[in-house]
Amino acid sequence: MKYMYTIIVILVIVMLVIGIFLVEGNSDITDYETDWETTGDISGLWNEEIIIEFKDGTTESLKILRENKLSINPFKITRDGEEITGVTYNLYATASQEGTGYTGCEIEEFTLTTAYRRMPSTMIDSFNNIIIPTVLEFDEKTQIVHNYIDLEDAIGSEIAGTYAVTWTINEDQIRYRGLPNSEWRIVERPDGQLVTMTVHEDEIYLILEPGVGTG
């Protein structure tokens, strides 16, 4: 395939509201953090991460790319003419115990939908991943989802244009409980992510739109 990819990346609140992306200013942190905002005796965090993969096999964290270029809005990143070949969505969870009595935290099964479409609304394909129940050790960041999209497979046969890849947690709420036998409680789902790609024949570059997301 001779097309190359321009990627315009927008942080999206999947619950279809306008969102503001707050940069935390630490280039060592590669993901977007959301507090569970629980009121019980277990607290927690979601961490969502987008990794950009280049044709030479190297990868870059989307968040680090954004934080290194905040002075320009929007800004353009080139990578020595390297084609962008894939994007990865990672989801992590961290649980903390407020007090004692539990041996860990269990997150119930949920479904992640990955979809890609030609903008504005022509669906190309979508598929569901069943995320099996996960047991978290307290205060340990645990990976729950690793979802890689090969752009050649996803839109390689499509004509030049603009395409979107989305990662959405289907359930509005996810259940969790303290182990061994706490009652189930609920937490709001992670935000989810949207990556918009423009396919060109002549060049490759990455454009990041800081500040505002759209649902």
Digit-coded pLDDT (tens) for 93-121: 999 998 788 999 999 999 999 998 888 88
| Residue that the structure tokens 């989801």 belong to | 91
Q: Is 41 helix (H, G, I), strand (E, B) or coil?
A: coil
- Decide if 168 contacts 117 (C-beta within 8 A): no
What pLDDT is attached to residue 113? 94
Q: Are 94 and 141 in contact (CB under 8 A)?
A: yes
Residues of the chain predicted below pLDDT 50: 10-27, 70-79, 202-215
205-208 and 4-10 beta bridge pairing: parallel
What residue type is 202 in one-letter code? D
Residue 106, pLDDT score: 97
Q: What is the largest CA-CA distance in the chain?
A: 60
pLDDT single digits (tens) 10-22: 443 232 222 222 2
Confidence at residue 28, expressed as pLDDT on a 0 to 100 scale: 53
